[in-house]
């Protein structure tokens, strides 16, 4: 079949259009922030009571993030194999850049979230767990019983930060946001302030936050111009 020269401009325009579309789709895949939320609870997953962990995380992220994002949520029992499968699926298949778990971090026999998290990890990030316990110790001495931790899971072309958070909504907010006095001055830093830069370093999208809720920290060399839709930084 011979193609008329007169049709070349149309064909070239279509090819250019397809290339542009492919570029746009590729850019969207790279820049779309995907966050996995996992609530680990035998009773909540079994319908004995309503899960409070995922709603608490959803509400906090809605108040703190100014960047667009997509959520993947999972409610599962305290079974190590199930937790490992869920974390692997969220990172490797759903391509989450950040995964937050809640529940299963105590010393009880059924509390196996940290063990499952370590099993799928390629790097440990001990500073997050240390800071979570420092925050919780401001309220209860039993915070030293918590085994919350954070890790990186890497595949050949993707990576994600996975963090184990407390099970109670109040504690979730405190560990993510930190502690402030009545005037709003930060007394103890929350762990989420370090999350956007960590996600940068492992190749994820650039995350922006509302500084009234959580002031993300980056070195000056890593800062980008603030997006028009982002909340203004405090003066």
**For the chain, what percent of residues have pLDDT higher than 70?**
83
- CA-closest candidate to residue 83, choices 128, 120, 138: 120
d(CA 105, CA 88): 19
Residues 6+ away with beta carbon under 8 Å from 145: 106, 107
Judge contact between 216 and 196, C-beta under 8 A.
Answer: yes
Judge contact between 151 and 123, C-beta under 8 A.
Answer: yes
Q: Which of 27-36, 129-138, 163-172, 225-234 has the lowest mean pLDDT?
A: 225-234
Q: How many CB atoms lie within 10 A of CB 192?
A: 25
- CA-closest candidate to residue 38, choices 57, 14, 22, 24: 57
User: What is the residue-averaged pLDDT of the chain?
Assistant: 88
Judge contact between 35 and 100, C-beta under 8 A.
Answer: yes
Judge contact between 191 and 179, C-beta under 8 A.
Answer: no
Q: What number is the average pLDDT over the span 93-100?
A: 98
In the structure, what pLDDT confidence band is assigned to residue 214 with cuts at 50, 70 and 90?
very high
Domains with residue ranges and CATH for the chain? 32-222 (3.40.980.10)
Convert the pLDDT of each residue in 125-176 to its tens digit.
999 999 999 999 999 999 999 999 999 999 999 999 999 999 999 999 999 9
Q: How would you label 132-142 residue by residue, b for 16+ Cβ within 10 Å and e otherwise?
A: bbbbbeeeeee
18, pLDDT greater than 80: no
45, pLDDT greater than 50: yes
Question: What pLDDT shows up at residue 226?
Answer: 75
Judge contact between 90 and 38, C-beta under 8 A.
Answer: yes
């Amino acid at each position: 079949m011979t193609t008329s020269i007169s049709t070349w401009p149309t064909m070239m325009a279509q090819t250019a259009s397809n290339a542009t579309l492919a570029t746009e789709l590729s850019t969207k895949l790279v820049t779309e922030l995907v966050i996995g939320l996992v609530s680990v609870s035998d009773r909540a997953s079994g319908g004995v009571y309503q899960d409070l962990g995922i709603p608490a995380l959803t509400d906090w992220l809605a108040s703190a993030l100014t960047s667009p994002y997509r959520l993947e949520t999972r409610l599962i029992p305290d079974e190590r194999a199930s937790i490992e499968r869920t974390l692997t699926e969220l990172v490797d298949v759903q391509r989450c850049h950040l995964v937050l778990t809640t529940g299963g971090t105590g010393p009880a026999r059924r509390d196996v979230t940290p063990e499952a998290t370590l099993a799928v990890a390629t790097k440990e990030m001990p500073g997050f767990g240390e800071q979570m316990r420092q925050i919780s110790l401001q309220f209860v001495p039993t915070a030293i019983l918590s085994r919350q931790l954070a890790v990186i899971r890497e595949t050949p072309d993707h990576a994600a930060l996975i963090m184990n958070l407390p099970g109670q909504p109040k504690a979730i907010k405190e560990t993510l946001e930190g502690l402030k006095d009545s005037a709003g001055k930060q007394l103890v830093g929350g762990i989420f302030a370090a999350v956007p830069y960590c996600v940068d370093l492992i190749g994820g999208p650039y995350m922006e936050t509302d500084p009234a809720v959580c002031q993300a920290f980056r070195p000056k060399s890593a800062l980008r111009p603030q997006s028009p839709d982002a909340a203004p930084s405090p003066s």
